[in-house]
Structure 1
Amino acid sequence: MNAEVEDNRRTLASDMRRAWLVELRRLLFAVGGGWLVGFLFSAPHLGMAAGLLLLVSFHLRLLYLLARWSLNPHRVELPESGGVWGEIFEGLYATQRRARQRKRKLASILAEFQASTAALPDGAIVVTPRGHIAWFNTAAQGLLGLRSPQDIGARINNLIRHPGFQRYVEQADFSKDVQLPSPLNAQYTLNLRLIPYGNGQRLLIVRDVSEHQRLDRMRRDFVANASHELRTPLTVLSGYIEMMHGEAGRPDSALAAWSAPLGEMRGQLGRMEHLIGDLLKLARLESDTPAPRNEVIDMEKLLLDAVRQAQTLSRGAHHFDSAIDETLLLYGRESELQSIAINLLSNAVRYSPDGGSIRLEWRTAREGGSEYPLLRVEDSGIGIEAESIPRLTERFFRVDVGRSRATGGTGLGLAIVKHALEHHEAELSVTSEPGEGSAFSCHFPSYRLYREGEQRRVG
C-alpha cells in the first residue's frame, strides 16, 4: 500500500514537472516570437510586449472559463488544455468524479436507511436543532397522523400539542421517555423518546404501548382480585388457629402438644395477611391518579407517627434520631406519604443490627438555585452492594432474603415507595456501602413545597 502511494506521488510530481516545462515553452515562444516579429518591423520590444499580452489573454480566458465552471459545474465544461492549466482541470474533474461517487454512495446508504426504518413498527422522526421535522417513516404517519410531504419542515411542537410533550421538550431531560394518548385515538397510548445525535439533531422514537398497558392492567387486576379473594379463607383459618392456639396454651388441654406448631402457623398467617395487604396497597397505588396539589399535609405529625411505629417494630433495639422542619408542609396525599415514611423506616430497622442508629431528616435542599423538599432516612445497617441498588424497587427483590423473611419483610416495601413517589412527581436516590449503612433520599419537586403562612394553592 505504501509503495503504491509512493508511486502515485512520483507520477504526480513527474506530470507537474512536464506541465511547468510546457508553460516555460509557452513563455519563451511568446517572448521570442514577439521579439522576432517586432524585429522585422524595427520594434523588437513592442513585439515582445505584444507576445506577453497574447499569453496573458490566453491565461485570462482559461481563468474566465474556470470561474464559469465553478458557478455551474453540471452545465459548463472545462476546455482541454496542456501545461499547468491541464493539470488543474484534470484535478478538478477527478475531484468532481469522486464527489459524484460519494454522493451516489451516500444516496444508496440513505435509501437503505429509509427502507429499513420504514419497515420498523416504531415511528422514527428526525428533528432539526430548531425543532423542525426533517424526515419521518411510515410508522410515524400511522401513529401520529403525519402527512408527507406537507409536514416536512413543520415544528414538531405544533403537530404534537399535548402538554406532557411540551414539558418534556422544555425540560430537555432525554434520558427518560414520556407517555401520551394517541392524537388519532385516545384509547391508545404512545411512548415517545427524543434521542440527541449529531450536531444538535434529535431522533424521536414513537412506540405504541397500548397492548403492554392492557397486559399490565390485567396483571394488576389479577393480583388485586386474587389478594382480595385470599383474604376470606385466611380470615377463617386465622380465626380457627387463634381459637386452637388459645386452647393449646392450657397445660391440661388435648392440644397442649400442638402449642409450638400452632404458634408457627399463627405467625405465618400473619405474614401472609401482611403480604396480601402490601399487594393490595401496591395495586391501588398503580391504579390511582397522581396526588393532588391542593391538600396540605402536616409532615411533622405524619413523620413522628411513622417514627413511633418504627420504634415499636424495633422493640428498643435501635437508636432513633429525627431532624424535622415543622414549618415545612407538603402538597400531596397523606396515605401515600405515610406509606413512604413507614416503609423506609421499617427497612432501616430490618436491615440494621441491634444497637444500630436510624436517622430521619425532613428539610429543604438546594439544586440549581431552586429549593425543594427532601425526606432522608439513614441507617447504620448492613449496606447494599452497588449492583443491587438499581433493583431495589423491583417487586419481591431482597438484598438479604433470609434476614428480610426472618423480620417479616414482604419484598414490596420499596416498590410501594417508588409508586407513591411517582404520584408526587418525586424521585428516590440511594447511597450505600456494604457494611457502612444506607441512605434513602426522596426528592420532591419544589412546587409541592408549602410553608406555614403562605397562601394555599388551589388545583
Structure 2
Amino acid sequence: MSMPSMGVRRVWRREAMLIIAWLAISLMTGLLVGRVLVCVLAGVSIYLAMQLIYAYQLHRWLISDRIEPSDGIGVWQEIYTELYRLKQRNRKRKKRLKSIVHEFQASTAALPDGAVVLDSQGRIVWFNSAAAALLALRSPQDMGQRIANLIRHPTFSTYLSQATDSGELEMPSPVNEADTILMRLIPYGNNQRLLIARDISEQKRLEHTRRDFVANASHELRTPLTVLRGYLEMMEEETADSEALAGWKAPIHEMGEQSRRMNRIIESLLKLARVEAEGLQQRQERVDVPAMITSLVEDIRRAAAGAEHAVSVDLEAGLSLYGRASELESVFSNLLSNAVRYTPAEGEIHVRWWSDDAGACFSVSDNGPGIDATHLPRLTERFYRVDPGRKASSGGTGLGLAIVKHCLEHHEGELAIDSTPGEGSTFTCRFPSQRCLNRRAA
C-alpha cells in the first residue's frame, strides 16, 4: 500500500475517533442532566456548524488571491494543506506557462513576417506588430473580430474558407494595392490556424525587372542575329557550289546551325516574356482542343524527325476548353516536340486527351530513356538540363517546359510528370472542370 493511502486512512481514522469522542461527551452530558436526546442533538448540531464554518472558510480561500490557508481541526487541516500544495503547484505552472507565452510573443514580434492566430471561427486571437503593419490590423480594437471582415478580398475569403492546408496565396496588400502579400494558413491545435503574411513586393519587382531585361535583351539580339544568319546562309550557298571553298563548308554549316539554335532560344525567351507579361489579360475563347492536337500530330508525322516514331492518338471528341488558343498550342506543341526529340528512332509516342470527374487531361507518353526522380522537381526551370554534358545541338532550348508551366498557370492547370529511367516518361496536363466545354462521350 502506498504512503499517501496510508496517510489518508490515518487522517480519517482520527476524524472518526474524534466524532465518536464528541458524541460520547454529548451522551454523557445528557445522562448527567437527564436529557440524553437533547444533548446528543445539540452535539451533532455543533459539529455540523463547525463543518459549515470550515467549508465557508475553504470557499472564501479558494476564490481569493491569498496564498496562506485558514486554520482547521482534524481532517479540515489536512484538506487545507493538500489544497495549499495544489494551489502552489498551479501558481508555478501558470507562471511557467505565462513565461512561455511571453517568450513566444517576444520571438514572433521580432519576426519580419506577420503572424496572426485565428480560432476555429476565424476570429483574431493575437497578432504581432509585423501583421499589424502588413494587414492594417489594430490592437486592441480588432481582437476577437473575424479576419474575413477586416481583409475584404474575394480570393482571401475563398482561401480562408478551406479547412485544410491549402498552400500559399498571393494577393494585393490591404495597405497599398501596388504591393503584394504572400499568405500561408497553417492549421494547428484544436481547430486553430496560424496565418503567416510576408511582403514579397520587392521580389515581384525584381522578377518584373528580370523579365523586362530578358525580353529587351532578346529583342535587341534578334536584329544582329538576323544579319549574321543572312550572311551565313549566303556563305553556305557559296561553299556548296565551290570546290575551292570546300574546306570552309563544315565550319560554316556548324555556325549556321548554332545561329539557328540561338534564334530559337531568342524566340522562346520572347515567347516566355510575352506569356508572363500578358497574364490573365489576354482574350479567352472556346478552343477546339481535339482539332488542335490532331493538326499538331499531323505536323509531327510529316516532319523528318517525327516520321521515325509510331505516334498513336486517343482523343475525346467534343471536349473543348475555355482559354487562350496560342498558349494552349504552346503547351501541346512543346510536350509533343520533347517526346519526339528525346525518344529514340522507331520509338512509340502515345497522345491522349480525355475528361474525368476533376476536369480535362492531356498526356504525352513515350518509351524513351526516362528521367531520374531527382530531376523531376526542376524540369520546369529555365535552361535546366537533365544531362549537362549533352550536346547543345541535340537538345531543345531549355525553355519549353517553363513556357508550359506559365501557360498552364494562366488556365488554372497543373503539370504532372511521371518517369522511370529506362522505361519512358508521361507528361500530363490537368485542367479544372470549370474550363471544360461541351463535354460528351466520344
Task: Mark the CA change 1:67 to 1:310 in structure 2 (over 3 Å): closer, same or farther.
Answer: farther
The reply to whether residue 262 of structure 1 matches residue 252 of structure 2 is yes
8 Å contact kept, 1:220–1:283 = yes
| Alignment equivalent of 2:408, drawn from 404, 409, 421 | 421
Equivalent position of 1:457 in the other structure? none
Deviations 1:166-205 (A, max 9, x none): 2222344634211111122122111111111111111111
8 Å contact kept, 2:306–2:340 = no
Deviations 1:424-450 (A, max 9, x none): 111111122222211111111111111
Equivalent position of 1:314 in the other structure? 305
**What is the distance in 1 between the residues matched to 2:388 and 2:178?**
41
Moved more, 402-411 or 254-263: 402-411
Task: Tell me by how many angstroms 1:289 deviates.
Answer: 2.0
Q: Which amino acid aligns with 1:187?
A: A
Equivalent position of 2:94 in the other structure? 103
Alignment of 1:179-218 (within 5 A): 179-218=170-209
Q: Which amino acid aligns with 2:219?
A: H
Equivalent position of 1:365 in the other structure? 356
Task: Mark the CA change 1:275 to 1:27 in structure 2 (over 3 Å): closer, same or farther.
Answer: same
What TM-score do you get using the length of structure 2 for normalisation? Answer: 0.92
Task: Tell me by how many angstroms 1:35 deviates.
Answer: 2.1
Equivalent position of 1:444 in the other structure? 431
Task: Mark the CA change 1:17 to 1:315 in structure 2 (over 3 Å): closer, same or farther.
Answer: closer
Gaps of 5+ in 2: none
The reply to whether residue 158 of structure 1 matches residue 149 of structure 2 is yes
Equivalent position of 1:3 in the other structure? none
Q: Which amino acid aligns with 2:199?
A: D
8 Å contact kept, 1:195–1:203 = yes
What TM-score do you get using the length of structure 1 for normalisation? Answer: 0.89
Equivalent position of 1:384 in the other structure? 371
Equivalent position of 1:19 in the other structure? 11
Aligned-pair identity in percent equals 49
Q: Which amino acid aligns with 2:318?
A: T
**What is the distance in 2 between the residues matched to 1:40 and 1:182?**
92
Deviations 1:348-393 (A, max 9, x none): 12222222211111111114xxxx1111111112222222211111
The reply to whether residue 63 of structure 1 matches residue 55 of structure 2 is yes
**What is the distance in 2 between the residues matched to 1:315 and 1:420?**
24
Q: Which amino acid aligns with 1:355?
A: E
Equivalent residue of 2:375, what SS? helix
**What is the distance in 1 between the residues matched to 2:362 and 2:285?**
18
Deviations 1:20-70 (A, max 9, x none): 343133123212211211221235565445434433433343334444555
Alignment of 1:42-191 (within 5 A): 42-44=34-36, 47-70=39-62, 72-74=63-65, 78-172=69-163, 174-191=165-182
**What is the distance in 1 between the residues matched to 2:72 and 2:164?**
60
**What is the distance in 1 between the residues matched to 2:411 and 2:391?**
28
What is the number of equivalent residue pairs in this alignment? 439
Task: Mark the CA change 1:172 to 1:421 in structure 2 (over 3 Å): closer, same or farther.
Answer: farther
Question: What is the alpha-carbon root mean square deviation over aligned residues?
Answer: 2.3
The reply to whether residue 276 of structure 1 matches residue 266 of structure 2 is yes
Deviations 1:312-344 (A, max 9, x none): 263422111111123111111111000100111
Equivalent residue of 1:150, what SS? coil
8 Å contact kept, 1:323–1:362 = yes
**What is the distance in 2 between the residues matched to 1:392 and 1:428?**
11
Deviations 1:142-177 (A, max 9, x none): 112111111111111111111121222234463421
Equivalent position of 1:340 in the other structure? 331
**What is the distance in 2 between the residues matched to 1:129 and 1:201?**
5
